[in-house]
Chain A
């Protein structure tokens, strides 16, 4: 600790350079945390998936619906212990920028099939008994300041027009991975409001199975039943469905990892250059410290310590800022990332990366300083 003052004093020697270096490291780590959070947000939806839930959709595409009539036949498949269904609504609140997920769901079966959606009993009852009622996640309620009893107008895009819902429940997620940015309302309300030709069609069926071991056999049976029908099905586990959904936008994880690494690498080169310059400028002072009895090892630690201190400071600022910004802003990227939160493990990973950056950027100048020959260094700059 007694050398910390020396390290800090040296870093404050050129305040502008130190500030710019810390700032660039902070920006790099901020971007790293942001990109990493995109990945963890994807993973959160996978973690929230239940192994005992299957998703049944049209074999060709999610865009094509399935008949409501499939419900009875699906319920009879051996191994299926529960069924629910719904439609992606695809609307927005007031402005197209205010995007979040809305699902028209079969309300009697919704809470049974999705126990991770936690709702007080009285609110659940109020939701069930009112046709225009809806429930919203806690995060959504906080974002728009909605309370129980509020009327929420949603502009439909797939189902045009203004749809008004009354908030009768505010649910919380059973775990942190559960999305709290969704609005659920009655599928019947949607169905009855549609023209005759569009009624009684369902976007997705969810099946609950007795055991995860049955997933393959139940999926096979379901798809076999409808194989030759006009609307064939594709059945898969919820996790596989989510993963497939994510893969639609390409290998995002790889792309983001490459971008994040490139940013950090570029900033590391800048930091190395800065540290080399800083050490070179102080050749005489380092020689003086050695004359006073500072050993090569101590000089190595002091110069290396500066780089580490600089990187950790920048890392702490960048990671801290990312955590703070995305906690306070309720950022969801237009509803695409409902749980966009910088996880503590992401912050730790960012700090570890900052420490590695500090170590790597400090090695060369520290070794150079430690190897400095006192007499020749004093002679060169005298």
Chain B
């Protein structure tokens, strides 16, 4: 999935502009970034600096106003919406700050969601879901609904959902932002394990310098400009 030199994420001169009441608000300005396969990268910066926007562009859920975003061998700007959705299903595992589990589904069913998009049999899906839940230490909570789980457990289910389809890249948007220190540490340890043991490339947006310390590389975004 990576290029010949091992680059998984390749951004060149990426700009993003939002319009609020017809007023142009530049969010990202000429971002250049290369991330290699297997890296754990933290993206830091103050609120409104464009961290989440950059993450969204890399995850293929938003499009740049200008510039090239190439991830896992695909130039995302050239993909049609349906191809882009398939690409996300194959390559991206997204972890949100607020977990974003579907409240009417059990932990098992939430983790199974990305696998519904594959051609796997229900038996194979079950095997993978239980493996993913086991990896985050929640195999005993499979039948619980999100409201029956603690915040830390919900985030672990969300991580299981992000890794169950074996994506190329894990993107985490403030994954510890809504957790207490103990749960946050557990989640960061988990992400670190996924990076080291399963060789997952992890891209994490965080406010927290302690969280960022777990990464191999830390980048800072300030007013839409990237600084290493």
Q: Which residues of A pack against B, CB within 8 Å?
A: 2-3, 5-6, 9-10, 12-13, 284-285, 288-298, 374-375, 378, 382
**How far apart are the CA atoms of A294 and B82 in the complex, in Å?**
9
Residues of B within 8 A of A298 (CB): 85, 117
- Mask, B73-107, CB within 8 Å of A = 1, is 00000000110011111101010111010111100
Known: A6-B105, A288-B100, A293-B85. 13 other contacts (CB 8 A): A6-B116, A12-B104, A290-B85, A291-B88, A291-B94, A292-B114, A292-B161, A293-B87, A296-B81, A297-B82, A298-B85, A374-B61, A375-B56
Known contacts: A291-B59, A293-B114. The answer to whether A13 contacts B104 by CB under 8 A is: yes
Set B88, B100, B105: member contacting A293, Cβ < 8 A? B88
**How far apart are the CA atoms of A9 and B82 in the complex, in Å?**
25
Residues of A within 8 A of B104 (CB): 9-10, 12-13
Could you list 18 A-B pairs, sorted by A, with CB under 8 Å?
A6-B116, A9-B102, A13-B104, A285-B100, A285-B102, A289-B102, A291-B61, A292-B88, A293-B85, A293-B89, A293-B114, A293-B117, A295-B85, A296-B81, A375-B53, A375-B62, A382-B97, A382-B98
Cβ of B179 within 8 Å of any chain A Cβ, yes or no, is no
**Which of chain B's residues 100-153 have a Cβ closer than 8 Å to chain A?**
100, 102-105, 109, 113-114, 116-117, 122
Known contacts: A3-B116, A6-B105, A291-B88. The answer to whether A296 contacts B61 by CB under 8 A is: no
Chain A nearest CB from B40 CB (Å) reads 21
Residues of A within 8 A of B88 (CB): 291-293
Q: Does A288 lie within 8 Å of B117, measured CB to CB?
A: no
**How far apart are the CA atoms of A285 and B104 in the complex, in Å?**
11
Residues of B within 8 A of A297 (CB): 82
Q: Does B116 lie within 8 Å of A296, measured CB to CB?
A: no
**How far apart are the CA atoms of A375 and B85 in the complex, in Å?**
14
Q: Does A289 lie within 8 Å of B113, measured CB to CB?
A: yes
Residues of B within 8 A of A3 (CB): 116
Residue of A nearest to B97 (CB): A382
Set B61, B105, B117: member contacting A375, Cβ < 8 A? B61
**How far apart are the CA atoms of A76 and B140 in the complex, in Å?**
94
Among B61, B97, B109, residue most surrounded by chain A Cβ atoms (within 10 Å): B61
Residues of B within 8 A of A382 (CB): 97-98
Residues of B within 8 A of A291 (CB): 59, 61, 88, 92, 94
Q: Does B61 lie within 8 Å of A290, measured CB to CB?
A: yes
Q: Does B114 lie within 8 Å of A295, measured CB to CB?
A: no
Q: Does A294 lie within 8 Å of B100, measured CB to CB?
A: no
Chain A nearest CB from B144 CB (Å) reads 15
**How far apart are the CA atoms of A289 and B109 in the complex, in Å?**
13
Chain A nearest CB from B143 CB (Å) reads 14
Chain A nearest CB from B15 CB (Å) reads 15
Chain B nearest CB from A301 CB (Å) reads 13
**How far apart are the CA atoms of A296 and B96 in the complex, in Å?**
21
Chain A nearest CB from B118 CB (Å) reads 10
Among A5, A9, A10, A378, residue most surrounded by chain B Cβ atoms (within 10 Å): A378
**How far apart are the CA atoms of A375 and B53 in the complex, in Å?**
8
Residue of A nearest to B104 (CB): A9
**How far apart are the CA atoms of A345 and B98 in the complex, in Å?**
52
Q: Does A2 lie within 8 Å of B122, measured CB to CB?
A: yes
Chain A nearest CB from B155 CB (Å) reads 14
Residues of A within 8 A of B89 (CB): 292-294
Chain A nearest CB from B196 CB (Å) reads 25
Residues of A within 8 A of B105 (CB): 6, 9
Residue of A nearest to B162 (CB): A292
Residue of B nearest to A282 (CB): B102
Q: Does B61 lie within 8 Å of A293, measured CB to CB?
A: no
Known contacts: A9-B105, A375-B56. The answer to whether A293 contacts B96 by CB under 8 A is: no
Q: Does A292 lie within 8 Å of B117, measured CB to CB?
A: yes
Residues of B within 8 A of A378 (CB): 61, 96
Residues of B within 8 A of A289 (CB): 102, 113
Residues of A within 8 A of B62 (CB): 374-375
**Which of chain B's residues 148-167 have a Cβ closer than 8 Å to chain A?**
161
Known contacts: A290-B85, A297-B82, A375-B56. The answer to whether A9 contacts B109 by CB under 8 A is: yes
**How far apart are the CA atoms of A291 and B86 in the complex, in Å?**
10
Residues of B within 8 A of A290 (CB): 61, 85
Residues of A within 8 A of B109 (CB): 5, 9
Among B53, B82, B116, residue most surrounded by chain A Cβ atoms (within 10 Å): B116
Residues of A within 8 A of B98 (CB): 382
Residue of B nearest to A377 (CB): B61
Residue of A nearest to B118 (CB): A293
Q: Does B86 lie within 8 Å of A295, measured CB to CB?
A: yes
Q: Does B82 lie within 8 Å of A296, measured CB to CB?
A: yes
Among A2, A3, A6, A292, residue most surrounded by chain B Cβ atoms (within 10 Å): A292
Set B82, B87, B94: member contacting A292, Cβ < 8 A? B94
Residues of A within 8 A of B85 (CB): 290, 293-296, 298
**How far apart are the CA atoms of A9 and B92 in the complex, in Å?**
25
Residues of A within 8 A of B97 (CB): 382
**How far apart are the CA atoms of A5 and B92 in the complex, in Å?**
24
